[in-house]
Amino acid sequence: MPSPLADRAAAPDHVELPAAHLGLTWRPLEPGDADAVLALARRCEAVDTPILRVDAGDVESVLARPERGIVADSLGGFDSAGELRASAFVYAPPGDESHARVFIDAAVDPEWRGRGIGRALLAWQDGRARQMLAQMDPELPGRIAAYVDEHHADRRRLYAAAGFSPKRVYRDMRRNLRDPIPPVEVPEGMQIVSWTPDLDERVRLTHNEAFADHWGSQPVAAESWTRIHRDLVPEWSMVALAGDDIAGYALTSRHEHQWEALGHTEGFTELLGVRRPYRGTGVARALLTAVLEALHRDGLDMAALDVDTENPSGAHHFYERMGYEPQASRILYTIEL
């Protein structure tokens, strides 16, 4: 029997704030700081060219987590003029069943880098994450996790020095919608329909079932589900019905705030899943083809999604056969407890 998670987490009694000599004043971030957090993100994005860029909705959702009863914490570092120069977030997703997870993320203003602020923030996040894990199910394995763009070498070294190891690689893939979309027959006895709100809760439960055998996946709680597809476009999102049964789904969003940096318009398929009894029947191909046709019909330039490169089902090969080409990657760094 493994020791209780609280023992494995080795949580400190008190987590120190970054030291005063770093030149910033620290306090938790609140919903009223949304504009400052977004401005900091924009200054960082101009230098870092991240794979994913934030928008106002993302920031508002993150800052509202504690108010919604979600286990989360944050820290902001303000200079003498009151401008936000650094931020850190720690977040435990609700609904985890087989793994206790805490995710971390941080940003340091490019003008304030090289002073040790990033290391100090990571130390604070590590301590707070361990405190959160110590309060979770004592029998579960624990994980502190952070996503890092593959091209952010400095941040990757920072996490490695703090004891994190690369665990998984998630690669963006894109398909040019000017390329022909081969017709696909819908499997016999099924129909592909557009997502509608009355299907949403059933799709969420279907997703939790379909992804139960995927590495690292945990059930998505209702409050998290709403945030995941805040930008969902019903006409670009498909559900496969076998009679009254949901066989699979493909949920596609419009992240328009990304388009200028990308240099093209695109629909991003956030989630695609097929329940086990229907796998191998062509449902996934029919769903994704319907998505591609909808995006092409609406004049988008590209279709995009991301994939776990170590998925044992070879999902990335399936997407390649559908015309998607590999792009940039994000790496999941973790400490396993």
Q: Are residues 210 and 270 in the same domain?
A: yes
Non-local CB neighbours of 1 within 8 Å, separated by 6+ positions:
none
Inside any domain, residue 267: yes
Give, as one character, the DSSP assignment of residue 81: T
Q: 257: which 2 tokens?
A: 């705030």
Torsion angle of the four alpha carbons 110, 116, 120, 126, in this order, in degrees rounded to the nearest 10:
80
Could you count the other beta carbons within 10 Å of the beta carbon of residue 93? Answer: 18
Q: Are residues 141 and 205 in the same domain?
A: no
Q: 13: which 2 tokens?
A: 């009694």
Inside any domain, residue 146: yes
Query: Per-residue pLDDT for the chain (337 aa), expressed as one digit of tens each?
Result: 679 999 999 999 999 999 999 999 999 999 999 999 999 999 999 999 999 999 998 899 899 888 777 889 999 999 999 999 999 999 998 888 889 999 999 999 999 999 999 999 999 999 999 999 999 999 999 999 999 999 999 999 999 999 999 999 999 999 999 999 999 989 888 999 999 999 999 999 888 888 777 776 777 887 778 777 789 999 999 999 998 899 999 999 999 999 999 999 999 999 999 998 888 889 999 999 999 999 999 999 999 999 988 775 667 888 999 999 999 999 999 999 9
Q: Are residues 126 and 202 in the same domain?
A: no
pLDDT at res. 95: 81
pLDDT at res. 225: 83
Non-local CB neighbours of 131 within 8 Å, separated by 6+ positions:
9, 11, 12, 15
Inside any domain, residue 35: yes
Non-local CB neighbours of 274 within 8 Å, separated by 6+ positions:
210, 240, 247, 248, 283, 284, 287
Inside any domain, residue 337: no
Query: What is d(CA 141, CA 126) in angstroms, rounded to the nearest whole number?
Result: 16
Domain that holds residue 127: 5-163
Query: What is d(CA 63, CA 53) in angstroms, rounded to the nearest whole number?
Result: 16
Could you count the other beta carbons within 10 Å of the beta carbon of residue 308? Answer: 18
C-alpha angle with apex 306: 301 to 307, nearest 5 degrees?
140
Residue 18 φ/ψ, nearest 5 degrees? -55, 145
Q: Are residues 145 and 213 in the same domain?
A: no
Inside any domain, residue 335: no
Inside any domain, residue 334: no
Q: Are residues 136 and 197 in the same domain?
A: no
Q: Are residues 201 and 299 in the same domain?
A: yes
Q: Are residues 14 and 106 in the same domain?
A: yes
Q: Are residues 253 and 305 in the same domain?
A: yes
Q: Are residues 137 and 155 in the same domain?
A: yes
pLDDT at res. 87: 98
pLDDT at res. 312: 58
Inside any domain, residue 78: yes
Q: 218: which 2 tokens?
A: 């945990």
- Chain length of the chain: 337
Domain boundary among 137, 163, 189: 163
Q: Are residues 194 and 266 in the same domain?
A: yes
Q: Are residues 13 and 150 in the same domain?
A: yes
Amino acid identity, residue 130?
R
pLDDT at res. 1: 66
CATH number of the domain that residue 288 is part of: 3.40.630.30
* pTM reported for the whole predicted model: 0.92
Inside any domain, residue 255: yes
Give, as one character, the DSSP assignment of residue 32: G
Domain boundary among 104, 136, 163: 163
The total of structural domains in the chain comes to 2
Q: Are residues 286 and 312 in the same domain?
A: yes
C-alpha angle with apex 255: 297 to 125, nearest 5 degrees?
155
Domain boundary among 107, 138, 163: 163
CA distances from 248 to 95, 276, 318 (A): 22, 9, 16
